[in-house]
């Protein structure tokens, strides 16, 4: 494994005429695509990369280690030259949000594009055939996206089968969270914030402090506002009311719940956060 602190293109592959890059997110789909590409195109020289925001969940790093070991591949870790705290100060304390995803732009996309540089690059994207979204598209004309799962009709069921059959399984965070990402991701539901508080209290505390440490008195929260009032993380109840238990269970791994009856998943337990 090599870790690259990105500033400008390091020209590590300046003698190559074309490159093939698969960006791992630490989630199930990109992991399954790595398996799929290795098996279907064994002679293709693919670079596997992970762009580390510095704010990832511990389970994400564990899953990357598993991918590396099971597939016997090298994963290049890319990092921004400046960390989250630097950019938070740069944006004057404004926390990232669905409308202002500066965290993705500064900590994920820019390091990745700096790594690509000006090379002709085929970027393999883990969108599935049963998804209705486009994902990230580079504005660089020499970066050509490829969607193997879409082209070959690979669905969620297929992804689960791929991960199970190769022995990789799913990331452990799927026991309480629906997607990969930073521990303070603003897309988390209240249920997922509760689970973060339970299983990663230090990260939860840091997320709370990001809401509170504004010397000028301004208020920014990860969950936004409701009825004009800011929703602070510290106000989240520790326990889910018994009447909401069924709704709570259904909100965890909603996409995977229909598969659990027929498939014994590796590394996942849907009762994890309810214990």
Cβ-Cβ contacts under 8 Å for 239 (sequence gap 6 or more): none
- Asked if CATH classification 3.40.50.620 holds for the domain at 1-275, the reply, yes or no, is yes
CA distances (Å), origin 135, targets 28, 89, 127, 138? 15, 28, 7, 10
pLDDT at 3: 61
The answer to whether 36 and 151 are in contact (CB under 8 A) is no
- Among the residue ranges 55-59, 137-141, 223-227, the one predicted with the least confidence is 137-141
pLDDT at 6: 53
Q: pTM (2 decimals)?
A: 0.81
Any idea of the CA torsion for 82, 96, 257, 275, to the nearest 10 degrees?
80
CA distances (Å), origin 15, targets 11, 18, 122, 185? 9, 9, 16, 38
- What would the pLDDT profile of 190-226 be if each residue is shown by its tens digit? 999 999 999 999 999 999 999 997 767 789 999 988 8
- Among the residue ranges 14-18, 60-64, 213-217, the one predicted with the least confidence is 14-18
Work out the number of other CB atoms within 10 angstroms of the CB of residue 66: 18
pLDDT at 227: 87
53 phi/psi in degrees, rounded to 5:
-75, -15
pLDDT at 139: 74
Domain boundaries defined on the chain:
1-275
The answer to whether 86 and 10 are in contact (CB under 8 A) is no
> 24: which strand partners?
50
pLDDT at 259: 45
Is residue 110 over pLDDT 70? yes
Q: Rounded distance, CA 225 to CA 230, Å?
A: 4
């Amino acid at each position: 494994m090599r870790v690259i602190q990105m500033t400008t293109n390091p020209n590590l592959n300046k003698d190559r005429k074309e490159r093939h890059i698969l960006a791992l997110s630490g989630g199930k789909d990109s992991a399954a695509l790595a398996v799929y590409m290795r098996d279907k195109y064994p002679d293709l020289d693919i670079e596997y990369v992970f762009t580390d925001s510095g704010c990832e969940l511990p389970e994400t790093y564990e899953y990357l280690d598993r991918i590396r070991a099971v597939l016997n591949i090298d994963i290049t870790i890319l990092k921004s030259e400046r960390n989250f705290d630097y950019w938070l100060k740069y944006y004057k304390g404004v926390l990232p949000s669905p409308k202002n995803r500066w965290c993705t732009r500064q900590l994920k996309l820019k390091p990745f594009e700096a790594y690509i540089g000006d090379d002709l690059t085929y970027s393999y994207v883990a969108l599935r055939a049963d998804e209705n979204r486009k994902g990230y598209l580079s504005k660089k004309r020499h970066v050509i996206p490829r969607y193997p799962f879409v082209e070959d009709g690979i669905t969620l069921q297929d992804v689960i089968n791929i991960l199970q059959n190769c022995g990789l399984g799913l990331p452990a965070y799927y026991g309480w969270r629906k997607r990969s990402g930073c521990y303070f991701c603003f897309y988390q539901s209240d249920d997922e914030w509760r689970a973060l508080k339970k299983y990663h209290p230090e990260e939860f505390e840091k997320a709370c402090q990001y809401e509170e440490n504004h010397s000028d008195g301004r208020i920014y929260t990860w969950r936004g506002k409701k009825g004009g009032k800011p929703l602070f993380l510290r106000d989240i109840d520790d326990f889910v009311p018994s009447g909401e238990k069924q709704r709570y269970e259904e909100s965890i791994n909603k996409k995977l719940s229909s598969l659990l009856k027929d498939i014994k998943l590796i590394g996942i337990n849907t009762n994890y956060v309810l214990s």
